[in-house]
Amino acid sequence: MSPERERHRGVFAISVAAEMVSMQIQNLRVYERRGLVDPDRTPGGTRLYSRADIERLHRIRELLAEGLNLAGIARVLALEEEVRRLRDANARLRARAAEQPDEPRG
């Protein structure tokens, strides 16, 4: 399994995840209901949080400490994801352009 796929594989139960990020279990459930985090589920419905989910929960905690409400946090997280996506696309385009031979200028 690739390191990126491993980072997104759910392995931590909600109690462990809550302890890792110093949050109450109820808060994690609220964040899931609000769409801020989307943990994996076992066939029996048990939530399994990944390392990526834990990183996201840490970011949520930081934003809460800065005074944002959950709607503001959702917007910040969406914008941060969009920036990441655009940077990746830009890097791919730059790499592709670097591979192209220079066209003659005239």
pLDDT, position 104: 65
3-state helix, strand, coil in the chain (%, to 5): 60, 5, 30
pLDDT, position 103: 67
Asked whether 53 and 10 are in contact (CB, 8 A), the reply is yes
Name every residue whose Cβ is closer than 8 Å to that of residue 5 and which is 6 or more positions away in sequence: none
CA angle (71, 79, 62) in 5-degree steps:
60
pLDDT, position 46: 95
Asked whether 21 and 59 are in contact (CB, 8 A), the reply is no
Neighbouring-strand partners of residue 40: 48
Q: Is residue 1 scored above 90 in pLDDT?
A: no
pLDDT, position 106: 58
SS3 23: coil
Asked whether 47 and 13 are in contact (CB, 8 A), the reply is yes
pTM of the model: 0.84
pLDDT, position 100: 87
pLDDT, tens digit, for every residue of 17-68?
999 999 999 999 999 999 999 999 999 999 999 999 999 999 999 999 999 9
Q: Is residue 102 scored above 80 in pLDDT?
A: no
